[in-house]
């Protein structure tokens, strides 16, 4: 969003450059969790922690994908004056619907 708001192409490209690394980190986390399940057989608190990590990692990767989509949109023709606040309000409404109280 910052790259789009400030019309910063370098920042947009930086976001795109890190996408593959984030994908690899998600795969690494997933493999580590599988290894923990298989070898350590966690219980109670440890099990809840590993399950939480398994659920959160793909969500964070998806957020990174959305950031890349936004960064790619930066390369599209410039937004008309006043469009960015409208987009920001739309994103805020959607996130509030999806994550109330966040």
Question: pLDDT digits over 22-49, tens only?
Answer: 999 999 999 999 999 999 999 999 999 9
Question: pLDDT digits over 44-98, tens only?
Answer: 999 999 999 999 999 999 999 998 888 887 555 555 555 566 667 777 777 777 7
| pLDDT tier for residue 15 given thresholds of 50, 70 and 90 | confident
CATH fold for domain 2-98: Methane Monooxygenase Hydroxylase; Chain G, domain 1 (1.20.58)
- Cα separation of 27 and 46, whole Å? 20
Q: Return the structure tokens found at 12.
A: 């947009």
Name the residue among 54, 52, 48, 46 with its Cα closest to residue 29: 54
40 contact partners, CB below 8 Å, separation of at least 6: 46
pTM equals 0.68
Q: Return the structure tokens found at 58.
A: 């793909």
């Amino acid at each position: 969003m910052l790259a789009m708001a400030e019309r910063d192409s370098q920042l947009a490209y930086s976001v795109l450059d890190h996408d593959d690394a984030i994908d690899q980190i998600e795969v690494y986390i997933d493999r580590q969790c599988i290894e923990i399940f298989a070898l350590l057989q966690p219980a109670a608190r440890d099990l809840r922690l590993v399950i939480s990590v398994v659920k959160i990692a793909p969500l964070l990767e998806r957020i990174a994908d959305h950031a890349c989509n936004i960064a790619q949109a930066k390369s599209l023709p410039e937004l008309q004056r006043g469009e960015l606040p409208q987009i920001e309000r739309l994103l805020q409404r959607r996130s509030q619907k999806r994550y109330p109280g966040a």
